[in-house]
Structure 1
Amino acid sequence: MSFINGIFLFAIGAAVIPIILHFVRRMQPKKVQFSSLLFLTETPKQLVKKRRLRDVLLMAVRASLVALLALAFARPFIPPELVPFVSREENESVVLLLDTSFSMSAYARAEDSGNRDSIFDEARAAAGDLIDASPPSDEYAVVAFSDTPRQLTELGSDKELHRAALASLAGPDNRKTSFYEALRLATEILDGSRHDQRKVVLLSDLQQSGWPGSIENWKLPSGVLFEPLQFGAYVGSNSFIEDIAVTTRRSSTETDGATIRLDARVRSESSVTDSLEVLEGNLVRLEIDDVGTESRAVPAIASSRVGFQQRIDDTGLFTGSLKLNDDGLSVDNEFYFSFAVDRRPSVLSIDGGRRSSYRESFFLEKAFDLGADRLYDFEAANEGSLSRRRLEGKTIVFGANLTSISGGVTSAVRAYVEGGGVMVLSFGDRANLDAYRRILRELEVGVVDRIVSPAADQGSEAIIGDVNWRHPVFSDLQGAAGGILRPKFRRFVRVTPDSSATVIASFDSGDAWLVEKRMGAGTLILTTATLGSEWTNFPINELYVPFVYQLAQYAISTGRERMMYNVGEVVGFSGNPGEQWNVRSPRGDVFQVALRQADGNSPSGNSIDAPAGSGRGFFRDTDVPGHYVATKGSQRFVFSVNVDPLESDLSRRDVDQVYASVVTPTDEAASEPQTAAEIMVAEEKNQKLWRFILAAVVLLFMLETFLANRPRLKPAKSR
């Protein structure tokens, strides 16, 4: 037995005081001379013996009281190594977080070690060992995570169940690492724990990219212990293709086909000193389906760009890949890409105004039709040609000075925009405001009020007051404009935008200049003035040509579907509500993506979360890198999926950094290694033997009171 306050053991010596008092107060019989013993009664010897026994018992009780009080103040405890059946620790509720992200598939040991287990294999084995070594009363829950967490088992003490859950994991996936969601789920699981002692154990390589800025301001709840375990002490070299840029170059005489320029950035990450040696003799090989192959040497530097150039004679959708030499982490050595070779972008200008040098088409033609150096095919038409067939296939359509907008025109505009086109509507002297009111109301763009003359209303011509410089139309113009657009406007139409529309630029009076309304896969942009010189001097401003080219570029990016994704990203599909896309994965699996129907009902598939009536669906099964082919009737679309390049960067955080970023300072101090004295105090608090000693003191005090106050025995009367 050990004691916390051993100095109180000296007080046990005070137990001799009742003993001394017992002997000191013991009365010796006196001899008294009596004349006669006739009137004295003889005390029986049996009664004398009983009195002596009671006095000895009182002495022992009082001595024990003093000794036990001293022992209680000394706070005794039994070391667990002496009495194994005494529990040393409180029962725990533990959540095991097992990292299954792509980086965990790297080898855990150097190649010359002969051990080819992955980091994931080592982490899973360690998780099983923790479960096996835990006391039977501890409860565990197992969570596997990459970018999202999955709870495999509930909190419980069934070790076989937890081991089976670990064994069911096929291995790491191709997704990126995100620690925040996993830690947050762990705290939610521990809210329902049976034991007060709660703990989160993180088994991972602690990859640096998995710690976003959002987790820096988040901490585990107070009282929850945290133990990060890092695996994969050896991190081998890993070379990968970080990104690729595909640009199309076409001469002025070419309409079909183009020259494709591909620029790939190759990186090598390693923790070994000779990290650059991994690139020595490395090649990157380009393969484009039905086009050809080409190889380039990779410079022996940590980050480099490798360029390719290929001639493609046809238009359409193309897929290809760039592949590096195998380095053990082979999945990210191949980068898949898709691209489209389209016909030259086309611009259509429909102007209802008189043919003059002031009309909108005149300035747009001068901006876009540059002869042999043109980047766009420009076409001007009159208002009567505004039909669905005429709009089909156009990159961007400008409509101005429209005088008659029938229901058929509105339907044609809606179909064109929802199909991915961009239409720019503007006003003019011949514009029919009633016709504009109808089409803008039916398309839910806004409400047309009247023509405003700023000089009459505010004493000066209007200028551009507020611009959303983050919008793609203006993002590249801010530097050139110095933050201010200087054209002046003599007139404009006051329009109140619909709640579903967005004002991307306004006049100094607060009235809207440019209003954008997203419709399906495309967008409609309303300018409340003109793009000709009837109401403004903007066409002769130095920013006019860059502005209309930005509009055209925005139209190209709007109508073009994204074709390259990272593993785990969601791919959107559009079409008529109720239709269905079939998506074939690189493994040959076919998935159905149903588009949300107008009545809000949707067939089963990957279309959850799509707004009712939008004609949109979402594909989420992008877990396998490679090329995906989507078809809907005669329509065909391809896209490529790759491992997130951040996940290929194997740099990691130290255990101390991870611990400090998750645990609050107070809990951190409480969780530091204990000294021997602190361990003794903890053991004594766990056993609390002093409570039993005090209980014995109370019982002895009651016994002493009873014995001390018991009536003295009287001799029996003689008959």
Structure 2
Amino acid sequence: MIFEKPDVLYFLFLLIIPILIHLFQLRKYRTTKFSNVALLEKIKLQSRKSSTIKKWLVLMTRLLGLAFLILAFSKPYIPNTESALKDTEVAIYMDNSFSMELPGNQVSLLEETKQNLWDQLGEQQKFSLFTNNNSWKHTNKNDIKNDFFNIDFTPVSLGFQTILLKAESMYKDQETSKSLFIITDALNFEDTPDLKTMEGIDLNFIIKEPKSLENFHISSAKLEEKNSNSVLRIEVKSSLSIDKDITVSLYDGSSLIAKARATFKNQLTSNVSFELGDTDFKKGRLELETDGMSYDNTLYFSLNQNDPIRILSLHSKEKDKSSFLSSIYKSDRFNLNVNSITNLDYSKISNTDLIILNEIENFSSILKTNLEKFYRNGGTLVMIPSENTSETTYSNFGMSQAIYLNSNSNKRDITTISYSHPLFTSVFSENIQNFDYPSTSKSLEINPSLSPILKYSNGSSFLAEQDRLYVFSSSLDTRFSNFINSPLVVPVFYNIALQSKSKPLLYSTVGSDESFTVKTILGQDEILQLVSSEQQVIPKQTKLGNTIQINTQYQPEIAGHYELKQKDSTLLDLSFNYNREESDLQALDLGNQNLVKFSTIQEAFNSYTEARKILELWKWMLIFALGFFLLELLILRFLN
């Protein structure tokens, strides 16, 4: 028992007053003898004993009544727990990730959570509230009423450790009793709870279980190009093994183009394909007709009509060194320009995507300076040495070290293909064992710091690459190499050209670190913007000469179709989608954790209130005091 006003207990010394009064009122009886009155003697003795008992009873009731009255004014109480004696601070985490859109009893889990939490909070109760993307410190219901009911789903999700750190930052006083309520569906947590980090925090887990975990979502889409035809392949996933058909619709803007069925025969994945032909989908959209979460029922994509890839082939001899290049780059996707270095217009260099240095023996200082500038600004270079090229011809060209180390006049076979290199993506269906590999009779040793693409039998590189710089070790003249007659020549040069011009992805993921480049000339203080029907944002951008590198890690934050604009001109159409991780619906395993778990918010708050209850005893003390005073009156009135 604890006293709120212990100083009042000093008044217990007042109990000595009724004791003194009682002692002064005690009378000493003196016996007077007279003859043979036995009856009077007996009556006198009984009367004397009754008077003494009455006075002692009055004294006891008076002392107890006064004692309980003093105790009542000292306000004694008994706390349920030690935390009930401290000032309390409450922090509440309300999960508003996409998975909280799953159905509750009547509405979504998030709407159900908001209503239940609002009902449990007191009108003047102080608390801190935070979600995955917002926070309110030391507030009450009146201050956040409008914001509270506008809390919506967000693609952002917090790990358990992040929740704890954020909660700790919201407490004002280190000496207070701290409580944290985590209201979540416990799906797709990045990490599991660690009890060692919870010291000093009364942690309460409120698990909101959805009525159903059934959910279908568009996991991914890929574009496959076959000749002039394009095929869009879509992967649709289910969270449960189920026998069901789902309709997938393809839109271009607001126009419905086609529909297909995704069939699930007790499996988790179904594949759907759409033939796009040569249609230019600037605002393409895929949609599922299903319940569950809505964010993953739509996938935005864009197909931009690409400008031809500009290729500049430079040679130093009069004879044509680009006959094999002309046959490779003959489609409309490429714009090949063949020039001798003797009559080169240097202004063409900055307006080119790929430059092929085809057996150039000597570089003028002007040419070398322009080529190095082109490479630094994001251009792609291919170096094909001539029969007379020495180790110093390309010395330190665009690199901090020599490209070629020494020469070799022996015949060597090219026997190894780096199948994992991006140049050979989708070229080979499997690793070839009995390939008719080409060979060279005269070559240079490439610096081993470059990544090999094609290698000789001794492990040295025939073709190597480093940061958009492709280097051959030998002349491709048929006198020294039969490489241009090999099946490898087409995919190598074709894919070098394709990768020299960064083209935007079919779609990007909001928040992922993805980059692409566009060629344009920006004025002073001019920037590019991403514009949608709802907002316009400025992405991270880096200027490299006439090339602008765009990074979309931080902007935009909302999924949809965007136009990359330079003033009023649209450079590209881009599409962004939310990450599909929330659709996996992986439950957090709390079985091995010694956590306080509740199934409802009301249950958690009732437990919180009960643990902080204080049993106040002053009322009982006052009742006992009045009872003893009443008993004293009854004794004085009726006990003779």
Q: Which residue of 2 aligns with 1:119?
A: 109
Partners of 2:176 and 2:479 lie apart in 1 by 78
Which of 544, 564, 578 lines up with 2:507 in the alignment? 564
Q: Shift of the alpha carbon at 1:549?
A: 4.3
Partners of 2:225 and 2:250 lie apart in 1 by 17
Partners of 1:164 and 1:408 lie apart in 2 by 67
Letter of the structure 1 residue corresponding to residue 152 of structure 2: P
Partners of 1:406 and 1:635 lie apart in 2 by 39
Q: Which residue of 2 aligns with 1:645?
A: 580
Q: Which residue of 1 aligns with 2:236?
A: 266
Q: Which residue of 1 aligns with 2:136?
A: 152
Please show how residues 134-153 of structure 1 align to structure 2 within 5 Å.
Answer: 141-145=128-132, 150-153=134-137
**Does structure 2 retain, via aligned residues, the 8 Å contact 1:351–1:382?**
yes
Please show how residues 536-551 of structure 1 align to structure 2 within 5 Å.
Answer: 543-551=488-496
Unaligned runs of 5+ in 1: 2-82, 110-114, 251-257, 599-611, 674-682, 688-719
| 2:110 alignment partner, SS class | helix
Letter of the structure 1 residue corresponding to residue 565 of structure 2: T
Q: Shift of the alpha carbon at 1:388?
A: 5.5
Q: Which residue of 1 aligns with 2:174?
A: 194
Partners of 2:257 and 2:347 lie apart in 1 by 40
Q: Are 1:491 and 2:443 counterparts?
A: yes
Q: Which residue of 1 aligns with 2:565?
A: 631
Q: Shift of the alpha carbon at 1:561?
A: 2.3
Partners of 1:515 and 1:261 lie apart in 2 by 33
Q: Which residue of 2 aligns with 1:332?
A: 296
Q: Shift of the alpha carbon at 1:242?
A: 2.1
| 2:499 alignment partner, SS class | helix
Which of 522, 527, 551 lines up with 1:580 in the alignment? 527
1:473-526 Cα deviation digits (max 9, x unpaired): 3666895367999956743156597xxxx64568899987666454xxxx3333
CA RMSD of aligned residues (A): 5.0
Partners of 1:129 and 1:88 lie apart in 2 by 25
Q: Which residue of 2 aligns with 1:80?
A: none
Q: Are 1:425 and 2:391 counterparts?
A: no
**Does structure 1 retain, via aligned residues, the 8 Å contact 2:128–2:170?**
no
Letter of the structure 1 residue corresponding to residue 131 of structure 2: A
Q: Shift of the alpha carbon at 1:170?
A: 2.4
Please show how residues 118-517 of structure 1 align to structure 2 within 5 Å.
Answer: 118-125=108-115, 127-128=117-118, 132=122, 141-145=128-132, 150-153=134-137, 159-160=140-141, 164=144, 167-168=147-148, 170-180=150-160, 182-183=162-163, 185-186=165-166, 189=169, 194-195=174-175, 200-208=180-188, 210-211=189-190, 215=191, 220-221=196-197, 223=199, 226-235=203-212, 237-250=214-227, 258-269=228-239, 275-277=242-244, 279=245, 282-289=246-253, 293-299=257-263, 301=265, 303-312=269-278, 318-325=282-289, 327=291, 329-342=293-306, 349-353=313-317, 355=319, 361=322, 364=325, 368=328, 380-384=338-342, 386-387=344-345, 390=348, 396-406=354-364, 409-410=367-368, 413=371, 417=375, 421-431=379-389, 436-437=394-395, 440-441=396-397, 443=398, 445-448=399-402, 452-454=406-408, 470-473=420-423, 480=431, 490-492=442-444, 503-504=451-452, 516=465
Q: Are 1:86 and 2:79 counterparts?
A: yes
Partners of 1:306 and 1:405 lie apart in 2 by 54
Letter of the structure 1 residue corresponding to residue 422 of structure 2: P
Which of 516, 525, 537 lines up with 1:591 in the alignment? 537
Q: Shift of the alpha carbon at 1:653?
A: 0.9
- TM-score normalized with structure 1 length: 0.58
**Does structure 1 retain, via aligned residues, the 8 Å contact 2:384–2:471?**
yes
1:422-476 Cα deviation digits (max 9, x unpaired): 3212322244766634xx55x4x23337661357xxxx77788999765423666
Q: Shift of the alpha carbon at 1:398?
A: 2.2
**Does structure 2 retain, via aligned residues, the 8 Å contact 1:490–1:535?**
yes
| 2:210 alignment partner, SS class | coil
**Does structure 2 retain, via aligned residues, the 8 Å contact 1:226–1:659?**
no
Q: Shift of the alpha carbon at 1:239?
A: 2.9
Q: Shift of the alpha carbon at 1:233?
A: 2.7
Partners of 1:546 and 1:344 lie apart in 2 by 18
Q: Shift of the alpha carbon at 1:417?
A: 5.0
Q: Are 1:524 and 2:469 counterparts?
A: yes
Q: Shift of the alpha carbon at 1:559?
A: 1.9
**Does structure 1 retain, via aligned residues, the 8 Å contact 2:284–2:301?**
yes
**Does structure 1 retain, via aligned residues, the 8 Å contact 2:178–2:202?**
yes
Partners of 1:467 and 1:424 lie apart in 2 by 18
| 1:453 alignment partner, SS class | strand
Partners of 1:198 and 1:262 lie apart in 2 by 54
Partners of 2:596 and 2:294 lie apart in 1 by 41
| 1:108 alignment partner, SS class | coil
Deviates more, 1:569-578 or 1:291-300: 569-578
Q: Shift of the alpha carbon at 1:560?
A: 0.9
| 2:431 alignment partner, SS class | helix
**Does structure 2 retain, via aligned residues, the 8 Å contact 1:248–1:261?**
yes
1:630-658 Cα deviation digits (max 9, x unpaired): 21144511111223233234x2415xx14
Partners of 1:561 and 1:486 lie apart in 2 by 35
Q: Which has the higher contact order (CA 8 A, sep 6+)?
A: 2
| 1:341 alignment partner, SS class | coil
> Could you say if the C-alpha distance between residues 181 and 351 of structure 1 is closer, same or farther in structure 2, counting changes exceeding 3 Å?
farther
Which of 490, 493, 499 lines up with 1:554 in the alignment? 499
Partners of 1:642 and 1:579 lie apart in 2 by 28
Unaligned runs of 5+ in 2: 2-75, 599-610, 616-640
> Could you say if the C-alpha distance between residues 405 and 241 of structure 1 is closer, same or farther in structure 2, counting changes exceeding 3 Å?
same
Partners of 2:478 and 2:192 lie apart in 1 by 54
Partners of 1:635 and 1:516 lie apart in 2 by 34
Partners of 1:672 and 1:331 lie apart in 2 by 29
**Does structure 2 retain, via aligned residues, the 8 Å contact 1:481–1:543?**
no
Partners of 1:337 and 1:530 lie apart in 2 by 43
Letter of the structure 2 residue corresponding to residue 580 of structure 1: I
Q: Which has the higher strand share?
A: 2
Partners of 2:175 and 2:433 lie apart in 1 by 64
